[in-house]
Structure 1
Amino acid sequence: MLVPCEIMTRKTLIDENRELINDELVALQSIYPELELDGNNCGRVSIPVSTEDTFYLSFPDLKRTNNIDTIATKHFPAIELEFFLREGYPQKSPPVFFLKSSWLPMRQRRTLTSSMVRLWNEIHDCVLFDAIELLRSSASSAFQSPKEMVFPSDSESLKQEFLTTDKHASLMDFENRTFTCLICFDNFSGKDCFRLARCGHVCCKQCLTDYYSVCIEEGMFTQLKCVDLECAKTASILTLEEMEMIVGPELRKRFQELDEKRRYENDANIVFCPRKSCQGPARRDPGQKLAICLKCDFAFCSFCQASWHGDLSACKLQGDSKKLVKMYLDYQESDADKAEELEKRYGKRILDKLVEQVKNDEEAERWALLNGQRCPTCDRVVERIDGCCHMICLCGTHFCFLCGAYLMEANPYIHFNDPMSTCYAMLFASPEEKQRFSENWL
């Protein structure tokens, strides 16, 4: 049974310990803002692990048998220190420590826990700050871990955790440094810069955004690479992920559309959908008419752009048939493959008929020019059987049979009496003279 003096001594000790604990926890929270307390003398704090040396971590590749995926890193997932302050701490009882880590072996965690407890054994006083600092100083060497570590085959999630941690820590290091932009040569904080993944060159975000935006809008896709002149000689263009981070999703999508169209335009077997609302790419077999749009599934003739009319039906003629005939005849002499393509497109019989028709029309036009004259108003061919060269068409137009010029109805013969006229003194020109006159116009 405790006597009153002993009760008072114990109560005083408890009060002193409580005051010491409160002071220690307040001090710790001011030093480590990330410290979490639950109000029951329990708390936890995360210890970042970054090293000066590079560590090599090997993970079995689950996709390929007997293949090892090795990661080089200086940043490890943080370890978590949990502590519980028992009754009697800090003078009579040591704190209870728990270390949580996804990668640090249990044996090393026990060694670290024992080291922190030994700190209390040496002084029997507040040791939380010393324990945390012990972990932070040991973290610089990854707690004496070997430089090369091999993890078991079921560590895929741990591998991803390492990659995420390293990426985040590297980004924080980058943002806290200062860099000189390779374009404008001003100095910027890493937060305002972008580092290209493949070569590591750094430029300010504004310069890179402006430069790559112009390259995309102007179609200069070969310039979408590092701006360093030497690096650009061998560097490949940006990845789509990097491009979107710099110029945004809209311009990245614009680049993909333009690049795809450029590649399609260089492919002789790609045509584009004739629908104005689509205009998507369509692939066809070499030399064949049928094309099907990859975007809207519209089947159409790749020659005439009309909806699909079958291989046996010829394409409808569009435009000037004389130009088509001239092109066909030229191809027959210079390029048999293109002549054959036109035959597939319009049909050989139709082209032969067109050639015959055009030749007949040209012959008729030649005859009409040598032996007749077209009315300048209605284009009707007028033949002179007898009489003078003053002609009156059925439409009532007065014109010259030789040159086709309009004649004044009141005085049509002034045209033939004017010394400056090409038809001067030729009112009664013979058919032979008419032909010689017209040959000058052929």
Structure 2
Amino acid sequence: MDEREEELSSITAIFPELVIQPDDPFSASIELPVAPLAPLNIAFPSAAPPTPPTSDNEGRTYNLGPGRAAGASKEVHQLAYLPPLMLQITLPEGYPAEKPPQFELAAGANWVPENVLKKLVLGGEALWEEYGRGQVVFAYIDSLQQAAERCFDLVDKAEKPLEMPANMKIELLDFNMQAKRRQFEQETFDCGVCLEPKKGSVCYRMLRCGHVFCVGCLQDFYNSCITEGDVSSVKCIDPSCGKEGDGKKKDRTLNPSELLQIPIDKAMVQRYAELKRKKKIESDKDTIYCPRNWCQGFARSSKHPKITDITQVPDSDSESDTADADNDNKERASRLTICEKCDYAFCRVCLAGWHGEYVRCYPRNAKELSEEEQASYNWLRRHTSPCPTCSSPCQKTHGCNHMVCFQCRTHFCYLCSAWLDSYNPYEHFNTEGTPCYMRLWELEEGD
């Protein structure tokens, strides 16, 4: 057997991932993973704000553009895994006694500078000389692995972040995330709920604390909590999680975006986010309620904005920042308030219908009705029937007198507002001796 073929065969036994070219038995390739001993800090330039136009002595205006903005900030991320190093090995005729091996290096996503790759390639030939022109492929692969653990000495002793161009950010962050997930799926964990060993492929690691549970247990527990409205229990279920040095426990509920990653059904997560928001609004002493007795919705507020995208909901356990306080002060300065439930515009001072900024008004008893509100109330009494459960006024436009409340979905009679059995709502109209007997189609054309 040729000495070159024998060396590659021996290395294949050590590195099964080594691929020998089918058309050339003396040429092979191997992919070397890059996982530094300590997570590497990498800085990406963030988008700089546009520079305001400037003018010279002659009055000509110039726009320096975003690239010339001074003090552009940087985003620093810790990466535990980086795209691998691809090594191409060719053993020419006359190797190892007469000719050195030929090495070619390339890095995934081109994140390693070309001058560093050239230096590593030249190191292979120097290693061949150092070994007395002997077989050196295994030693070279081993040296590359050690260099990968040091991240090819790209970071100096001052431990400053390694700077990368902005166009590599998404690719590098995505590779790091995928590599972490693959590593996690290969491990085995003991679920703290069912106490059974589970593979990482069916487990989830909590983002804030790192505790691991199987997905099935998390889904059962969180779905039950959200269904019952116990949103304060939607947190890490490890008993020791959140305990601080003084032994006190700080409970922090999960962000909706993390529930989606577990995964929890989107409709259930939407309910969770709405319940959390409702709880915060009700506990806020500054909350304004709609003065309409049949509505009682919350007023629109930038402090507690309506949820339109559950993936963008901020961490609700964190303290409100200065911007929220400023927005709240601005809202108080304006008396115009709009109910987010019924869109009723009213004054936050006198609770009457909106009358403009320049009309003087004074706080009044919420039970007192203005002339406008009394007229609206009288109209509602004449032309609607209240729901027996939530008192929401309902008006029939056509059809029979079996009604379903738009607010709480209660079945009731439009004529007398009596509750109806949802499984047999027409029994009420077919029972002799009742006021609504045989009156199912009365006012069929609407009220």
- TM-score, normalisation: structure 2: 0.53
Match of 1:44 in 2: 29
Once the two structures are TM-superposed, the CA of residue 219 in structure 1 deviates from its matched residue by: 1.3
Contact in 1 for aligned 2:288/2:298 (Cα 8 Å): no
State the secondary structure of the residue aligned to 2:210: coil
> After the TM superposition, which residues 52-71 of structure 1 pair with which residues of structure 2 at under 5 Å, given as runs?
52-63=37-48, 65-71=71-77
Match of 1:409 in 2: none
Change (3 A) 1:208 1:339: closer
Contact in 1 for aligned 2:89/2:104 (Cα 8 Å): yes
State the secondary structure of the residue aligned to 2:365: helix
The equivalent position to 1:95 in structure 2, one of 91, 96, 101, is 101
Contact in 1 for aligned 2:223/2:264 (Cα 8 Å): no
Work out the CA distance in 2 between the residues paired with 1:216 and 1:253. 10
Contact in 2 for aligned 1:271/1:281 (Cα 8 Å): no
Matched residue pairs, number? Answer: 295
For 1:100, give the aligned amino acid: A
Change (3 A) 1:43 1:260: same
Work out the CA distance in 1 between the residues paired with 2:185 and 2:43. 29
Work out the CA distance in 2 between the residues paired with 1:349 and 1:34. 80
Work out the CA distance in 2 between the residues paired with 1:45 and 1:271. 73
State whether structure 2 residue 236 is matched by structure 1 residue 244: no
Work out the CA distance in 2 between the residues paired with 1:349 and 1:219. 34
> After the TM superposition, which residues 2-401 of structure 1 pair with which residues of structure 2 at under 5 Å, given as runs?
19-38=2-21, 39-40=23-24, 41-63=26-48, 65-101=71-107, 102-121=110-129, 122-145=131-154, 146=156, 148-152=159-163, 155-229=165-239, 231-232=241-242, 233-250=249-266, 251-256=268-273, 258-259=275-276, 269=289, 337-341=365-369, 343-347=371-375
Once the two structures are TM-superposed, the CA of residue 214 in structure 1 deviates from its matched residue by: 0.8
Runs of 5+ in structure 2 lacking a partner?
A: 50-70, 243-248, 302-330, 347-352, 355-362, 383-447
Please give the per-residue CA displacement for 1:272-300, whole angstroms capped at 9, x wherever unaligned: 9x9xxxxx999699999997879xxxx89
Judge which range, 101-110 or 192-201, deviates more: 101-110
Please give the per-residue CA displacement for 1:45-78, whole angstroms capped at 9, x wherever unaligned: 2211223234433333334643233333443332
Work out the CA distance in 2 between the residues paired with 1:34 and 1:239. 41
Please give the per-residue CA displacement for 1:102-153, whole angstroms capped at 9, x wherever unaligned: 333444333322222233333545433332222113322223443524455x
Work out the CA distance in 2 between the residues paired with 1:288 and 1:73. 49
For 1:49, give the aligned amino acid: V
Contact in 1 for aligned 2:128/2:136 (Cα 8 Å): yes
Contact in 2 for aligned 1:94/1:124 (Cα 8 Å): yes
Work out the CA distance in 1 between the residues paired with 2:204 and 2:111. 31
State the secondary structure of the residue aligned to 2:112: coil
Work out the CA distance in 2 between the residues paired with 1:139 and 1:349. 77
Work out the CA distance in 2 between the residues paired with 1:68 and 1:171. 26
Once the two structures are TM-superposed, the CA of residue 342 in structure 1 deviates from its matched residue by: 6.5
Runs of 5+ in structure 1 lacking a partner?
A: 1-15, 275-279, 303-309, 312-334, 355-442
Once the two structures are TM-superposed, the CA of residue 212 in structure 1 deviates from its matched residue by: 0.9
Once the two structures are TM-superposed, the CA of residue 34 in structure 1 deviates from its matched residue by: 3.3
Contact in 1 for aligned 2:96/2:135 (Cα 8 Å): yes
Query: Which has more radius of gyration?
Result: 1
Work out the CA distance in 2 between the residues paired with 1:212 and 1:350. 46
State the secondary structure of the residue aligned to 1:45: strand
Please give the per-residue CA displacement for 1:217-271, whole angstroms capped at 9, x wherever unaligned: 1111121112234545424322223201224334324434555676788865569
Contact in 1 for aligned 2:291/2:366 (Cα 8 Å): no
State the secondary structure of the residue aligned to 2:366: helix
- TM-score, normalisation: structure 1: 0.53
Work out the CA distance in 2 between the residues paired with 1:141 and 1:23. 31
For 1:53, give the aligned amino acid: A
For 1:236, give the aligned amino acid: R
Match of 2:396 in 1: none
Q: CA RMSD in A?
A: 4.5
Work out the CA distance in 1 between the residues paired with 2:146 and 2:345. 75
State the secondary structure of the residue aligned to 1:51: coil
State the secondary structure of the residue aligned to 1:118: helix
Contact in 2 for aligned 1:50/1:139 (Cα 8 Å): yes
Change (3 A) 1:198 1:270: farther
State the secondary structure of the residue aligned to 1:114: helix
Work out the CA distance in 1 between the residues paired with 2:196 and 2:219. 16
State the secondary structure of the residue aligned to 1:53: coil
Work out the CA distance in 2 between the residues paired with 1:173 and 1:349. 65
Where relative contact order (Cα < 8 A, 6+ residues apart) is larger, the structure is 2
Once the two structures are TM-superposed, the CA of residue 156 in structure 1 deviates from its matched residue by: 1.6
Once the two structures are TM-superposed, the CA of residue 197 in structure 1 deviates from its matched residue by: 0.8
State the secondary structure of the residue aligned to 1:104: coil
Identity value in percent:
27
Change (3 A) 1:54 1:151: closer
Match of 2:442 in 1: none
For 2:122, give the aligned amino acid: S
State the secondary structure of the residue aligned to 1:170: helix
For 1:140, give the aligned amino acid: E
Contact in 1 for aligned 2:256/2:272 (Cα 8 Å): no
